[in-house]
Amino acid sequence: MSLRVAVAVGCCLLVLVGAGSFAVSPDASDPGAAEFDRTVAMGLTLEEQRLLGSGRFAPRAQVAYSQYPYVVGYRGVGTTASAVDDPLVRQQFGYPRAVHVEAAPPDVSLDESGYPLGEYSGQWIDADDAYFVVDSAARTPSGPATLAFDARADAVDFAESHGGSVVTWAAHGQFETPRADGSNARDRVETQHTEANATVASTRELLDRPVSVVVGEDAPTLRAALDDAGANATVQLPPGTYEGPIEVDDPVTISGEDATIVGDGNGSVVTVTADDVALVGVSIEGVGDSLEPERTVAADRADWDRATEEAYGYADAAVTADGVDRLLVARVGIETPASGVVLRDADRAVVDGIRVNGTDRWEDGFMSVTAIRSPAVVQGSTFDGGRDGVYTHRSSGITVRNNEFIGGRFGTHFMYTSEALFAGNCATGQALSGVVVMTSPSGIAIADNVITDSRRGILTSGSDLYVGANTVVGTRQGVSTSARNSLYADNAVVGNEVGFRASSVFPTSVVTRNDVVGNERHVRATTGPLRVWSHNGEGNYWAGAEGLDRRYSPTDPVDGRLHRTGAARTLADAPIVRGLRALRGSTPGMRGESVVDASPRSTPSNPTRLENARRLADGRTTVSEVCGA
């Protein structure tokens, strides 16, 4: 790579990785170690870093690659070992020119969780000169940890105290960590559906309670009925209007038919503070319009956690539940200028078959369902208007499935939430995105959804995500591939201004078996190195690339127009274009901002899904007809 090319590529990458990122001189035979904060860092999620907190550390390493102008930092020695031997990494970034590891502090110990105690030493040593302790009790929030030492005696002392054995970098295959690639999230989809089914079944047991009070017959008001009902009974609401707000502080079921609970326009209408509560078959009106009323957040929350909870978790709502176990909100109709259902620290909560009508302008309203540290099941519901259909904060394991999102800002908004499932949903008319993953979580599965007529379809971040079998039609930007080490497979991306947006600075994801048709631009790539979108000889189906017996690059000025004009096919076969294509494929400096499919398909991967997407794009069918197909 020439210095001029390297500098040009580096200047462009600077915008994305930050002005402080450490650039590797192309002429340096032995690149030195960089300050970790100046590397392109990978590894622990933001939530996992928060769990470490102060006084703990995660082993760190860094690698300078031969065809990548910036040093890559890894939080985890095992992750580093896996990366340097990964064929995909080598294909895109070249061989590792230098591997440095950070020596553990001499007085390192472990806490009760196995997390290493101490401060980062800042002492970087060549991996070949280090001694590693593997299979000890040391771990980080993401799993077992390998520690590096600059002196063999220190490594032996640690192993004698905490188990494990001492090895050198030559044996790094022993402590490689299987690279996250989205397969864990994909394989967890069915398991998470099964677990969600069990949670739903548990809450439905609350519908079998005997009726002890009928309002209007046995008690004059709903409040009086709740006082008289006793535990584990049902309060029956005949058709009519009932005065709220109410607090449910006993384990009861409130069941109605054509019954409406009306608040006084201030605060939440139904507040649940007891375990084992069900609210079924009623409508709720008269919700207050305050988005940030007076609230009390635990003083021991971290500043960022407290700020997020205060901003999103205390709006007026039709139903608010705080610190409860086993809650069912089912077949409830809600009119609200603020939130619909707010869950804080709720276990085994199910929101099933409700309808929330929010504000016409998303800027004026709030969330249909807010889940704060609540791994709930939200299913079979319709969320029309308001800000976000479902908003989550630290609700790892939440399941959002088979819902309809209409209008609003985001269909579902994941914040600090890992291992979530977003499946079988339909989102249309979202101002910003059908589903968005923020704050770099891991292990989210986004599967079997239909998203259309929104600014963006699927907007991702984080790592180890599975984005599969989705239909994305009629957006400005269909699918973002900015999540790392993730799997994007079997999606139909049709009729968008931009089909895929490749934006990760260090792309390590697998993109395969997708059907990409009828987009103005199939792919837009931001500044960065080559992205290879095929896996084990299996690529994607690209309209315009049918029958090609070579690599296809949807970001190439000529290839990218094959689906738009017949003249592009003629130009693509011209000798000078073939020569430039070959040069770009062999010269690292000419591969930036590129996506290459080494094995483009001649036939669609998923013909039925693709046909449904085409019918959606040209108006021959509706979203409701395609959802669940």
What are the Cα distances from residue 155, in Å, to 108, 116, 163?
10, 14, 11
What integer pLDDT is reported at residue 488 of this predicted model? 97
pLDDT at 137 over 90: yes
Number of domains present in the structure of the chain = 1
Stated as kind and residue range, the H or E segment containing 6 is helix 3-17
What integer pLDDT is reported at residue 175 of this predicted model? 87
Q: In the chain, what is the straight-line distance between the N-terminal and C-terminal CA atoms, in Å?
A: 50
**Phi/psi at 607 (5° precision):** -60, -40
Residue (of 441, 337, 333, 431) closest to 396 by Cα position: 441
DSSP string, 73-125: EEE-HHHHHHHHT-HHHHHHH-SEEEEEEEPPPTT-EE-TT-PEES-----EE
CA 410 to chain centre: 13
**Phi/psi at 280 (5° precision):** -135, 135
What are the Cα distances from residue 326, in Å, to 147, 199, 377?
42, 8, 11
- Using a pLDDT cut of 70, give the percent of the chain over it: 88
What integer pLDDT is reported at residue 548 of this predicted model? 87
**Phi/psi at 34 (5° precision):** -110, 165
- Is residue 557 one of the residues assigned to a domain? no
Rounded to an integer, what distance in angstroms lies between the CA atom of residue 225 and that of residue 222? 5
Tokens in use for 267?
């605060």
- Is residue 353 one of the residues assigned to a domain? no
- The average pLDDT across 550-554 equals 90
pLDDT per position as a tens digit, 180-234: 789 999 999 999 999 999 999 999 999 999 999 999 999 999 999 999 999 999 9
What integer pLDDT is reported at residue 592 of this predicted model? 56
Helices (H), 124-271: 152-162, 183-204, 222-229
Q: Are 421 and 399 in contact (CB under 8 A)?
A: yes
- Is residue 599 one of the residues assigned to a domain? no
CA quadruple 447, 481, 539, 544: dihedral sign: positive
- Is residue 90 one of the residues assigned to a domain? yes
DSSP state of 335: E
218-222 contacts, C-beta under 8 A, 24 or more apart: 222/246, 222/254, 222/261
- Token pair 């100046």: residue: 38
For residue 486, the tally of other CB atoms under 10 A from its CB is 33
pLDDT per position as a tens digit, 234-266: 999 999 999 999 999 999 999 999 999 999 999
Q: Are 233 and 207 in contact (CB under 8 A)?
A: no
User: Which is higher by pLDDT, 15 or 408?
Assistant: 408
- Is residue 52 one of the residues assigned to a domain? yes
pLDDT per position as a tens digit, 485-520: 899 999 999 999 999 999 877 778 999 999 999 999
Rounded to an integer, what distance in angstroms lies between the CA atom of residue 562 and that of residue 564? 6
Tokens in use for 3?
């210095």
Q: Which amino acid is at 613?
A: A
- Is residue 100 one of the residues assigned to a domain? yes
- Is residue 94 one of the residues assigned to a domain? yes
- The average pLDDT across 96-122 equals 94
pLDDT per position as a tens digit, 317-335: 999 999 999 999 999 999 9
What are the Cα distances from residue 523, in Å, to 493, 552, 568?
11, 12, 17
Residue (of 628, 248, 271) closest to 449 by Cα position: 628
Domain extent at residue 118: 3-175
- The average pLDDT across 47-75 equals 88
Q: Are 432 and 412 in contact (CB under 8 A)?
A: no
pLDDT at 14 over 50: no
pLDDT per position as a tens digit, 260-317: 999 999 999 999 999 999 999 999 999 999 997 766 666 556 666 777 888 899 999 9
Tokens in use for 177?
């960590």
- The average pLDDT across 596-603 equals 94
Q: Are 294 and 279 in contact (CB under 8 A)?
A: no
**Phi/psi at 329 (5° precision):** -120, 110
- Indicate the length of the chain as a whole number: 629
Stated as kind and residue range, the H or E segment containing 306 is helix 303-312
Rounded to an integer, what distance in angstroms lies between the CA atom of residue 423 and that of residue 550? 35
3-state secondary structure of 250: coil
3-state secondary structure of 619: coil
- Is residue 123 one of the residues assigned to a domain? yes
- The average pLDDT across 551-569 equals 80
pLDDT per position as a tens digit, 350-371: 999 999 999 999 999 999 999 9
Stated as kind and residue range, the H or E segment containing 413 is strand 410-415
Tell how strand 60-65 and strand 72-75 pair up: antiparallel
What integer pLDDT is reported at residue 533 of this predicted model? 93
Residue (of 453, 387, 466) closest to 423 by Cα position: 466
Q: 119-133, 445-459, 576-590: lowest mean pLDDT where?
A: 576-590
What are the Cα distances from residue 44, in Å, to 75, 124, 236, 419, 464?
6, 20, 50, 14, 11
Beta strand extents in 108-251 (DSSP E only): 109-110, 116-117, 124-126, 131-134, 139-140, 143-144, 147-149, 165-167, 211-214, 233-237, 240-243, 246-248
- Using a pLDDT cut of 90, give the percent of the chain over it: 71
What integer pLDDT is reported at residue 12 of this predicted model? 35
